[in-house]
Amino acid sequence: MFPARLFPLLAGLGLVSLTAFAEPLPGTAPLAWEGDPAARVVDSIDRYLDARMSTVVADRAGLWLDDHRDAMRARLGEILGVVDPRDPVAMRFTTAVPGNGGSSAALLARGSNFRVFAVAWNVFRGVEGEGLLLVPDGNSVADVVLVPDCDSSPEALAGIAKDAASGKAFGVRLAEAGCRVVIPVLLDRSTTNGGNPGYRHMEMSQRETWWRAAYEVGRTPTGYEIQKALAAADWLVASRPAADRDTALAIAGHGEGGRVALHAAALDPRFTSALVSGYFQPREQNWREPIDRNAFSYIRDFGDAEIATLVRGRLAIEDGAHPAGNWTDAHGAAPGSLARPEPAAVAAEIERARALMPADRKASLVSVNAATNAALGEGAWKTLAAWLGLRADRGVGSVPAMSGALPDPVARQARQYRQVLDDTQALVRSSPEKRKAFWKEKGAKTENLAAFTNSTGPLRDYFRTETVGIIPAASVPPVPQSRLLYETNGIRGYEVVLQVHDGLPAYGILVLPAGMKDGERRPVVVCQHGLEGRPTDVADPRVENSAYHRYAYRLAEQGYITFAPQNAYIGNTRFRQVLRKAQPMGLTLWSFVVRQHEVITDWLASRGDVDPRRIAFYGLSYGGKSAMRIPVWVDRYCLSICSADYNEWIWKCTSTTSPYSYLFNNEYDMPEWNLANTYNYAELSWLVCPRPFMVERGHDDGVAPDEWVAYEYARTRRQYVKLGIGDRTEIEFFDGPHTIHGVGTFAFLKRWLGTP
């Protein structure tokens, strides 16, 4: 048999045939596909998601038939990562005027009958809220948390920003009418602090870096900012004189601040009134918005209408100016856009909310009209003033006189950015204990192998439902189609297409070794390509790729049947945006890939030349990620080999100080919701257990340093050894790069699959 490296030369001399033929595999229909199979696979997932999205409002209706809104509030808090207990709050002044003493030392500005202070307040674990506090001169009649858009400032709402437009600043009107007002700053979408300041700058929105780090630890940027708003409310309530304990508490916001206000009011019953401006609309296109708004399963369970029904006080929706902008995928950032929705769409969402509300609550939701380019306008003011018992004529919006220098907005943004980013790292450091507690909570037992394997079902189920996400199992027969791709020296490669759902196929290349006898059943190795890869990279002898070395073909030379599937992580921004469409639906690309592999392995097992008990998985790079996830779900895989990917995965996805971190490149598809607190790679390997598991690792692989790999693998091996099956796991370090080595792994396959 000719070595694979000689095929192109021999084909040029006419000594071997590498021509695609029309003839199919026996028992399959002819394959009539044209065009790029990889694009077809990604497009089919996209179309499936579009179909699901078109019915999501009706599908989620069942969650709201009964009065179980408290459970849905808890679910909303989990989805947004509002799960941390807050500290007792202390408000502190952050500016001073030299030469003055007492409380006046912090005075920033004075209005007609109120004072303005620059303040900060603690939330938890070193995270602080920061912004302005407006205090009336006399007794306050109401307390308000007023949240600006992330690309605006507290000073604009207090009428003291250098570039503040003339007119009635909403915070000033509230203070003039007798309200205490806290105006927190939100992190803006500039690239000022993208990445890690002082370590490595990235030209991406600093909110996106927040999202990448927070998503992995079960938090979101919105969740952090809700907590800051709620901590401000904690202080407002706690600092009231005893005689004023029943003072009304409200929250209002515009743009991103409207998003914070809506969710905070839904989560916290203390807000008797809420005003949302420039945010409320149908949310099914959430995946097109900036990625910092991405939350796992959010759209599956909630729309803005459903969240509105969770607000226990009164809610006013102002359809005024919405923040607008476009963010491209330049420099590896995630694309996104914001624009004002059609007024009719906003009105329809408001009516949908009313329809979901109990009859006695419908009047608590009001719609406020605004001028085309207005935000927090006259209608919003009059509505909120009436609800809070304010004299509307008192809030005229005069301009406060400055007493001190404005807070440095750049330094303030840097503080806000750093505190949350540092908090994600603190959560990463505590995640091993969180995972240990999670496994205990799910009932994992480790005293012996039988106890362990019998107790990990809930952990597998949780991984499938809450991490990967489930689509229904195959709903149509596979209807296999195929055509011969090449033949040489008796080895044949066939393109194969199988159906999973109507319009959702699985595609790959089946390689049949030479010399198979009638009735003989061979073991199969499913060989999985990596990022931007194709089945031809691993299974076609005409293709030379320095990472794969045609390893599916080489294994066929040794007598194994191999199959090289096309997985969906191909197409750069294209597949990543398909993933973004999936995540708010509680799905991932793995939701589709695992169903495709179920169909593939079932079809392989049904073939008369395959031993169904010996179907192995072996993947490189993103295929190595597949090796850590797919066999957890697909039980037909009798063993798994992870090449050029096994890692201390949580560090890899979140580290702010490592050049290996996914915080610093274009792969915004890597964060997986709350994975840090549930499964690292060792835990995923334990879910492969008791099946054999192996890691292939090149010393010069840029995926991670050897130390990370060895540290995490030690946890894999210890579990196998403690269960009495240490012989079923191995790691091979070799002196080489990010590549298939094919030495120890081939021996591992031979050991567990036998010699064909």
- CA distance linking residue 40 with residue 82, whole number of Å: 39
Last residue of a domain, one of 372, 405, 428: 428
For residues 413 and 501, state if they share a domain.
no
H helix intervals, 662-705 = 681-688
For residues 78 and 159, state if they share a domain.
yes
Q: For the segment 665-701, what is each residue's pLDDT rounded down to a tens digit?
A: 999 999 999 999 999 999 999 999 999 999 999 999 9
Length of the chain: 756
Kindly state the percentage of the chain with pLDDT values over 70: 94
* Structural domain range at position 627: 4-22+442-753
Label residue 431 by pLDDT band (50, 70, 90): very high
Which residue carries 């033929």 as its tokens?
21
**Is pLDDT of 721 > 80?**
yes
pLDDT at 105: 58
* Residues 116/138, Cβ–Cβ less than 8 Å: no
Q: Which residues contact 524 (CB under 8 A, 6 or more apart)?
A: 560, 561, 562, 563, 604, 610, 611, 614, 615, 616
pLDDT at 15: 45
Does 412 reside within a domain? yes
Does 543 reside within a domain? yes
The tokens for 172 are 């000033």
For residues 334 and 392, state if they share a domain.
yes
Last residue of a domain, one of 384, 404, 428: 428
Q: What is the DSSP letter of 514?
A: T
For residues 377 and 250, state if they share a domain.
yes
- CA distance linking residue 354 with residue 306, whole number of Å: 9
Check whether the bond before 690 is cis (ω within 30° of 0): yes
* Total number of domains constituting the chain: 2
- CA distance linking residue 308 with residue 738, whole number of Å: 50
**Residue 752, class by beta-carbon neighbours within 10 Å (0-12 exposed, 13-18 middle, 19+ buried)?**
middle
Cα 410 to the center of its chain, rounded Å? 28
For residues 424 and 446, state if they share a domain.
no
- CA distance linking residue 733 with residue 744, whole number of Å: 9
Label residue 371 by pLDDT band (50, 70, 90): low
Label residue 100 by pLDDT band (50, 70, 90): very low
For residues 151 and 17, state if they share a domain.
no
For residues 147 and 293, state if they share a domain.
yes
Rounded to the nearest 10 degrees, what angle do helices 622-633 and 589-606 cross at?
Answer: 70
Segment 365-393 mean pLDDT: 88
For residues 423 and 447, state if they share a domain.
no
Does 149 reside within a domain? yes
Rounded (5°) CA angle 711-717-719 = 110
Which residue carries 């992580």 as its tokens?
569
- CA distance linking residue 42 with residue 503, whole number of Å: 11
Q: How far is CA 432 from CA 168, 292, 707, in A?
A: 51, 26, 17
- The DSSP-derived string for 628-656 is HHHHHH-TTEEEEEEES--S-HHHHHH-S
Lowest mean pLDDT among 322-336, 391-405, 512-526, 710-724: 391-405
Label residue 14 by pLDDT band (50, 70, 90): very low
* Residues 456/723, Cβ–Cβ less than 8 Å: no
The tokens for 545 are 């790729």
Task: Pick the closest to residue 335 from 163, 204, 170 (CA basis).
Answer: 204
pLDDT at 407: 92
Phi/psi for 400 (5° steps) reads -65, 150
Does 72 reside within a domain? yes
**Is pLDDT of 95 > 80?**
no
**Is pLDDT of 576 > 70?**
yes
Last residue of a domain, one of 388, 405, 428: 428
* Residues 218/81, Cβ–Cβ less than 8 Å: yes
**Is pLDDT of 20 > 50?**
no
Q: For the segment 492-531, what is each residue's pLDDT rounded down to a tens digit?
A: 999 999 999 999 999 999 999 999 999 999 999 999 999 9
pLDDT at 16: 47
Across-strand partners of 319? Answer: 369
**Is pLDDT of 329 > 60?**
yes
Across-strand partners of 122? Answer: 128
Task: Pick the closest to residue 167 from 393, 474, 399 (CA basis).
Answer: 399
Q: Report the first-to-last Cα separation within the chain, whole angstroms.
A: 16
For residues 568 and 713, state if they share a domain.
yes
Does 434 reside within a domain? no
Q: For the segment 28-45, what is each residue's pLDDT rounded down to a tens digit?
A: 999 988 899 999 999 999
Across-strand partners of 698? Answer: 734
- CA distance linking residue 581 with residue 53, whole number of Å: 9
Task: Pick the closest to residue 368 from 286, 274, 272 (CA basis).
Answer: 274
Q: Which residues contact 112 (CB under 8 A, 6 or more apart)?
A: 176, 398
pLDDT at 384: 96
For residues 101 and 13, state if they share a domain.
no
Label residue 138 by pLDDT band (50, 70, 90): confident
Q: Which residues contact 436 (CB under 8 A, 6 or more apart)?
A: none
pLDDT at 33: 86
pLDDT at 303: 97
Does 625 reside within a domain? yes
Give the CATH number of the domain where residue 587 resides.
3.40.50.1820
pLDDT at 280: 96
Q: For the segment 381-408, what is each residue's pLDDT rounded down to a tens digit?
A: 999 999 999 988 888 888 899 988 899 9
For residues 527 and 637, state if they share a domain.
yes
Q: Which residues of 589-612 are buried (b: 16+ CB within 10 A; e: fewer)?
A: bbbbbbbbbbbbbbbbeebebbbb
**Is pLDDT of 374 > 90?**
no
Q: Which residues contact 632 (CB under 8 A, 6 or more apart)?
A: 460, 463, 464, 684, 687, 688
| Strand ranges, E, within 533-624 | 561-565, 610-620
Radius of gyration of the chain (CA): 30
Q: For the segment 197-255, what is each residue's pLDDT rounded down to a tens digit?
A: 888 999 999 999 999 999 999 999 999 999 999 999 999 999 988 877 889 999 999 99
Does 39 reside within a domain? no
Please tell me which residue, 328 or 443, carries the higher pLDDT value. Answer: 443
**Is pLDDT of 622 > 70?**
yes
3-state DSSP assignment of residue 619: strand
Task: Pick the closest to residue 384 from 560, 531, 252 (CA basis).
Answer: 252
pLDDT at 1: 38
pLDDT at 155: 95
Across-strand partners of 733? Answer: 697
For residues 479 and 413, state if they share a domain.
no
Does 43 reside within a domain? no
